[in-house]
Amino acid sequence: MAYGFIQTWRRGGLEISTDPRRLPLRRVHALLAGTYWAEAIPLAVVRRAVKNSLNFGLYDTSQTGAAALAGFARIISDYATFAYLCDVVIAPESRGRGWGKWLMECVLVHPQLQQLRRWYLATLDAQPLYARFGFIPVPEPERHMEIRRSGLYRDAEFLHRWLAARGEVLTAHRPSR
């Protein structure tokens, strides 16, 4: 959820906003579906993730409509002790212009994300990007554990089960009494 109030930053023709109503969901989905970690992610999963996160949309105001969304990042947090930074992506055609760094700057100065005990993220190869903002490799990895479900979105049954578990789709057959 977008905690507290909507935050906006402007730089030249760019804007970063935490307004969830402004986010073109299908464009967010398209950007994420092009990444190595969320390939084949269903739109319904992105919708729910966005609904329950603090979202940062980066908009190129020289573009119109959904194409204006040139970058995205998402925070999962209790706003008191911990924040998980994920789904950081800049549109392929807009990479290498410093937009990702500005997105990180804005995320890290968000007023509701100050004085947290821990920030966390996972990345394949963008460590140098995050290192400039103070992230370090987990010093004692043996203290950290996870449940990882790689390839989840490639499971044909996954979406049906995912929706059904949330009561969003009725099972096809309801036994008669």
Q: Which residues bind ligand COA (CB under 6 A)?
A: 35, 88-90, 95-101, 123, 125-126, 128-129
Q: How far is the CB of 35 from ligand COA (least distance, A)?
A: 5
Q: Dmax of the chain from CA atoms?
A: 65
CB of 7 to ligand COA, least distance (A): 20
Give me the least distance between CB of 21 and ligand COA, in Å please: 24
Q: Which C-beta is closer to ligand COA: that of 94 or that of 159?
A: 94
Instruction: Provide the 8-state DSSP code for 42.
Output: -
> In this complex, which beta carbon is closest to ligand COA, that of residue 146 or of residue 157?
146
Q: How far is the CB of 32 from ligand COA (least distance, A)?
A: 9
Using DSSP, state whether 28 is helix, strand or coil.
helix
Of 79, 62, 61, 80, nearest to 17 by C-alpha is 61
DSSP string, 53-118: SEEEEEEETTS-GGGGEEEEEEEEE-SSSEEEEEEEEE-GGGTTSSHHHHHHHHHHH-GGG-S-SE
Give least dist CB 31 to ligand COA, A.
8
Identify which of residues 80 and 152 has a Cβ nearer to ligand COA in the complex. Answer: 152
Choose between 74 and 110: whose C-beta lies nearer to ligand COA: 74
Nearer to ligand COA, 8 or 127 (CB): 127
Backbone angles phi, psi at 167, to 5 degrees: 70, 20
Residue nearest to ligand COA (CB): 100
Nearest CA-CA partner of 20 in 10, 37, 5: 5
